Chains A and B, each alone.
Chain A
Amino acid sequence: MSIRLWKEVRALSLAWIVALFLPIVAMKTDFLVQQCWIFLCGAGYLGLGAMSFGYEINHGTLPLLLSQPVSRRRLWLEKTAVLAVVMGVTFLAHVVVCILFKLSLVLAFEILLAAVCAFLVCPAMTLIVKNTLAAAVFTPIVLAVVGLGVFGITDLLYPARVEAMNGGDTLVYFQVIPAVAAAGVIFVIGYFIFQRLECREFLGREVGLAWLLAPGRWLLTASGPGTWWSSLVLKELQLHRLNFFLAFLFVLACLASAFHAWLKPVLIYGDDFFYRMPFLIYWAIAPLTIGAVPIAEERQLGVLEWQMAMPPARGKQWAIKAIVTYLVGVAWLVILPVACLIGLYRPLQIPFFENDLQVAWTCVAALGLMTLAFYTSSLCATTLRTVLVTLAALISVSLSMAAFFWIPSVLDYYTQFLWRCESEQLLKFLISSSPFGVLFTISLFTAMGIGVISALILGLCRVNYLANDPRRWFVKTQWVIVVLGVDLLVNSLIYFSNLLAEFKITPL
């Protein structure tokens, strides 16, 4: 293989591993439902698409590449050809998995769609925003906006015609075709952008809305000249500018959905998925970006070591970073979606999850994913790599579950021991059928499990941040600890829920 083509393949290697192997491995665990599998496959294709040109941007090799005696058209063809081959091989592997696991071929079609859209849009989006993470995030958002926008408008203008069509045709004609057409247009735009691409000193583009931070800036400086901690807090908030922008887009999407529901009094088949889409996309993407940004973004910008050389102790800097990240996480992953649900969806009776407990668990899961991404960002050089490695960590967890089936048996022994001891009455009260008892018990064990594991992960994150360049053996050991810890937590939750079922304890 030509050395240049090999270099292109090598640049895509991490994203290719994630895209190719992890969904395949995930299917072995019986843990993932089909929708999650499509998400994993899609995330892998997005990573591949963003890395194609994003690698050059992240590593500053674009001037080196563009100053070589080869036309830009040739460079574009080489990169997109390699990307197409890599994505093609990945797709074929996923099709084989579908066949082996006797999955519906419609799933294969959906994965093909994800691959084609990622191939057409992601490289162009990287050249437009000049930020790999933003490109990977905005690609599905742009396509969702196009697809759902066309569907929403058609549904409003021609409701009878849409109602007469079956769900599949609606999906294809009003969402898939417009989205793919838009993807093709964006691909062509990307080619022309590359032809005219310039190598300025700072290639990264500010993706965010700085004015959203204005109130925060005023609050922090209202008392007088900024203190070191207020400067750090403001800096951390500004690192999250992409997440502020995502939250802004999410609110716009919810408003658009609510407006659509308000105009359309009778909801038809497929509407619940239509209205859930903003939340599903947001809760899938935002935890990863909120967690990935704090440390990896500074490292990517090249300012991390300079920042660490500043007078405030590293531990204090990390603490402020963690606090701001969790505040942003709680605000954008919990408060904002719940506020949109209560303020917009409930009054219009838009269908959503079956009960409030599912919403609560989704928020908890989102915060958990954010914690994992925050930890991973302490080890990765770029934000996109952080996201890919976080997804890899999730799959490692599901892989290890089968290996740790003995943990429930240990917990079972422990429960039997408790049952025999004198606190039998207390235990019976704790897992009695009264709502208070169930709620208390679930909260206690969940908080303990999540709290302990989160504290462990955050502790390791802090160690990595303070060390800045942890030894390899320590990094590998950490991975084992984190994977085991999360695996223990999930196994415990599964076991505990089985225990409750055994005692015929029904959820609220």
Chain B
Amino acid sequence: MNAEIPAIDIQHLARKYGRTDAVNDLSLTVRPGRCYGFFGRNGAGKTTTIKCLLNLLRPTSGSIQVFGMDPRRQEAEVKARVCYVPDVVAFYPWMTVRGALDYLASFREKWNRETEITLLKRFDLDPRKSTSGLSKGQRMQLALIAAICPEPELLVLDEPTSGLDPIVRRDFIRTVIGAYQAGDPGRRTVFVSTHLISEFEGLIDEFSIIEKGRTLLALEADAAREQFQRIDARFALAPPLLDDTEIVQSKRDGRELSLIVRGNIEKVSAHLRAHRPESMNTQALTLEEIFLATLA
């Protein structure tokens, strides 16, 4: 496969619901083999964007390409290379876990039975149990198994850890997603929309933060950690007011000052040192902190 073709290429995507702009001029590109985080507040347009990727919603304007193909015109070909886990999972109530997996396997040319057996054991799902008797978290687990077993080139996850208990969540993210990508490095792409950014911290290679249907920030994770830093300083008297443009967020708590800085850290540090703080330290931000600072 030509590695230059992006797994996802969205250009100036717009989608309206009546008069409301759910997505407004959104652009992003996901390279193959990456784990891409798609972050935003509730109602930012994440699910709408994901549904447009799979032709579950039609864009009002803009273009979407998945592996260089148009999801509207080449729907079946696109979906053959993509597996999707929606935020709200529903199965046919009369099917058992086994029946649901067999049914979904019937759509796929490839289905890894060993992975299926391993994941069923790991999630402790009884194949004979009816899907109507599964809890919300168990339905999500089943949907995740059904998405991973075909070993698709692109895994699209919309709030995949919703309803999962903390143990399963950690296990799923670290082991399942990590193992999935490790199975074919460079070819398997994960596109995940989530609020639990901290849980995906170690896996995300690139991310976008969207707000009101627009991209606020799009960076590589490592570059973001270099660009965004927090400076904590303590002063003998009231902390000074700084108006450097690099300061994204500033918090005062008595004599303590906490700054989130993007860009020229040294410049801001020098300004702070000029005011002779009692103590000062700098540390990189997590992706969640970057998300909060960007939207604040």
Contact = CB atoms under 8 A, between A and B. Distances in A.
A11 B92 contact: yes
B104 A68 contact: yes
Interface string B43-56: 00001000100111
B193 to A, nearest CB: 14
A67 interface: yes
A141 B15 CA distance: 35
Interface in A1-34: 2-4, 7, 10-11
A199 B90 CA distance: 13
A61 B92 contact: yes
A196 B59 CA distance: 12
Contacts of A59: 90, 92-93
A7 B90 contact: no
A38 B178 CA distance: 61
- Residue picked from A59, A64, A66, most chain B C-beta under 10 Å: A64
Interface stretch (A69-77, A322-330, A401-409): A69-77
Given A64-B86, A67-B56, A4 B103 contact: yes
Contact of A61 (B75, B84, B90, B106): B90
B235 interface: no
Nearest to A5: B106
Given A4-B103, A71-B76, A199-B51, A66 B92 contact: no
A3 B86 contact: no
Contacts of A64: 86, 89-91
A198 interface: yes
- Residue picked from A69, A70, A198, most chain B C-beta under 10 Å: A69
Contact of A69 (B47, B80, B102, B103): B80
Contacts of B56: 63, 66-67, 198-199
Q: Binding site of B, secondary structure by majority: helix, strand, loop or mixed?
A: loop
Interface in A33-70: 59-61, 63-64, 66-70
A200 B18 CA distance: 13
Interface string B92-120: 11110000001110111000000000000
A196 B79 CA distance: 16
B76 A7 contact: no
Nearest to A10: B94
A64 B54 CA distance: 11
Interface residues of B, number: 32
B58 interface: yes
B88 to A, nearest CB: 7
B3 interface: no
A64 to B, nearest CB: 6
Contacts of A201: 47
Nearest to A4: B106
A68 B79 contact: yes
Contacts of A68: 79, 104, 107
A64 B143 CA distance: 10
A71 B104 CA distance: 15
Nearest to A68: B107
A4 B100 CA distance: 11
A7 B102 CA distance: 11
Contacts, number: 69
Contacts of B55: 66
A72 B90 contact: no
Nearest to A7: B103
A98 to B, nearest CB: 33
Given A3-B106, A4-B103, A7-B103, A199 B93 contact: no
A196 B56 CA distance: 9
B219 interface: no
Contact of A198 (B57, B88, B90): B57
B290 to A, nearest CB: 28
Contacts of A70: 76, 79, 107
Contacts of B90: 59-61, 63-64
B56 to A, nearest CB: 4
Given A3-B106, A198-B56, A67 B92 contact: no
Contacts of A67: 54, 56, 79, 82, 84, 86
A200 B52 CA distance: 11
Contacts of A72: 75
A11 B57 CA distance: 25
B137 to A, nearest CB: 17
Contacts of B57: 198-200
B90 to A, nearest CB: 4
Nearest to A63: B86
A320 B126 CA distance: 43
A71 B102 CA distance: 19
A359 B82 CA distance: 61
B132 to A, nearest CB: 10
Given A61-B90, A64-B91, A3 B102 contact: yes
Nearest to B75: A71
A90 B75 CA distance: 35
Nearest to B72: A196
Contacts of A2: 106
A204 B174 CA distance: 38
A200 B88 CA distance: 12
Contacts of A71: 75-76
Contacts of B94: 10
Interface in B71-87: 75-82, 84, 86
Nearest to A60: B90
Given A3-B106, A60-B90, A61-B92, A69 B76 contact: yes
B106 A196 contact: no
Given A67-B79, A68-B107, A60 B93 contact: no
B58 A198 contact: yes
Given A2-B106, A63-B56, A198-B56, A7 B75 contact: no
Q: Which 4 A-B pairs have the closest CB atoms?
A: A69-B79, A60-B90, A69-B80, A199-B56
13 contacts: A3-B102, A10-B92, A10-B94, A64-B90, A66-B54, A67-B84, A69-B77, A69-B107, A69-B108, A70-B79, A196-B58, A198-B56, A200-B17
Interface of A: 2-4, 7, 10-11, 59-61, 63-64, 66-72, 74, 196, 198-201
Given A60-B90, A70-B107, 16 more contacts: A2-B106, A4-B107, A10-B94, A11-B92, A59-B90, A63-B51, A63-B56, A63-B86, A67-B56, A69-B78, A69-B108, A72-B75, A74-B76, A196-B58, A198-B57, A200-B17
